[in-house]
Amino acid sequence: MRFLLKPLAALLFWLGSALPAHAAVTIIFWSHEFGNDFPHAFIQLRGVPDAGGPPVDINYGYTAKTITPAILFGAVPARIDIAKPGYLRGSDAQFSMVLTDAQYREMLSLVAEWAHPDVDYKLNSRNCVHFVKEAARRLGLTGIDHPELMKKPRSYVKAVADANRGRVTVIGMDGEDYLVSLPPLPAPAVAPAPAVVPPPVVPTLTGTSSITSSSDSNRG
């Protein structure tokens, strides 16, 4: 029996490593370099809350409503941006962190606050990197102050990852490879179909039972 214990232990260890320890939402910090779009930093929330509920897979970034020369001269209207799959594939996943449900709710609060119509985009003080910095601050990450990198999304996000090694998982993969590597999320629970209640059964004059219909009920 002893010669079977080691292979069995190895198998159990592999299964424990391959399967998630618990349900949780993970935040992924992304960066996007020059191409057909401006450099950008954004976050992705993916997983299932510990408290239960439907799976989550959404990303959020912060940008100007319209990219025009006006962003060089002052505040302009802003919006929360949700990147399409093709944009994700062309970006880089830099690092991730497993969230508690409280941290997950805090990230949703951050998005709601920055989506407020009275909040403007300011290239020098409230751009996409500042949005990501605020997410890192609310998560308790350190080494987030890099004034020289606030217009350099990739360099900024990598600097935060380096400052928090041991607290975050460094990814450093291009988006296409990273997305392919992710395990599928569980399918949302399907609500059971409502029970079909049969019509009432009443006794007939002969003492047997039959289903009441509109014509039967009118007989005298």
Tell me the average pLDDT across 91-118: 97
In whole angstroms, give the CA distance from residue 200 to residue 140.
Answer: 62
Strand order in the sheet with 169-174: 120-121, 76-81, 56-64, 40-47, 25-32, 92-99, 169-174
**pLDDT surpasses 50 at 94:** yes
Tell me the average pLDDT across 180-193: 81
Question: 51 with 69: CB under 8 angstroms?
Answer: no
Least confident segment among 12-16, 69-73, 128-132, 188-192: 12-16
In whole angstroms, give the CA distance from residue 7 to residue 51.
Answer: 35
Query: What values do phi and psi take at 11, rounded to 5?
Result: -65, -45
Tell me the average pLDDT across 72-100: 96
pTM of the shown model: 0.76
Tell me the average pLDDT across 156-177: 98
Tell me the average pLDDT across 13-31: 65
Of the pLDDT bands very low, low, confident and very high (cuts 50, 70, 90), residue 2 is: very low
Domain ranges of the chain: 20-181
Average pLDDT in the chain: 83
Residue pointed to by tokens 């992924």? 28
Of the pLDDT bands very low, low, confident and very high (cuts 50, 70, 90), residue 36 is: low
Estimate the crossing angle of helix 128-138 against helix 101-114, to 10 degrees. 150
Of the pLDDT bands very low, low, confident and very high (cuts 50, 70, 90), residue 187 is: confident
